[in-house]
Amino acid sequence: YKFSDARPATADELKLPVTCCMDWADGSLVNDTGTVYLVKNGFKYGFTSEPSFLNRGYSFKQVILGKMK
């Protein structure tokens, strides 16, 4: 794309909310470069081992790939 391809925002686009990055939902299990994190109350908590993860009743089927802040 070129700068000349840019166009002014429409009235509807200007009504959209301005937000920061989308955070992960509470309870999400996210694998970020090999470490699985639990998201709770806006914080991330990394599991220190596979047994630590499994002993809390979680399954790797619940984990999604993503990047944490």
Q: Is the pTM of this model over 0.85?
A: no
Question: In this predicted structure, what is the pLDDT of residue 60?
Answer: 96
d(CA 44, CA 68): 8
CB atoms within 10 A of CB 59: 9
d(CA 60, CA 31): 10
Higher local confidence (pLDDT), 17 or 10: 10
55 to 2, 37, 59: CA distances (angstroms)? 53, 15, 10
**13-17, 40-44, 59-63: the lowest-pLDDT one:** 13-17
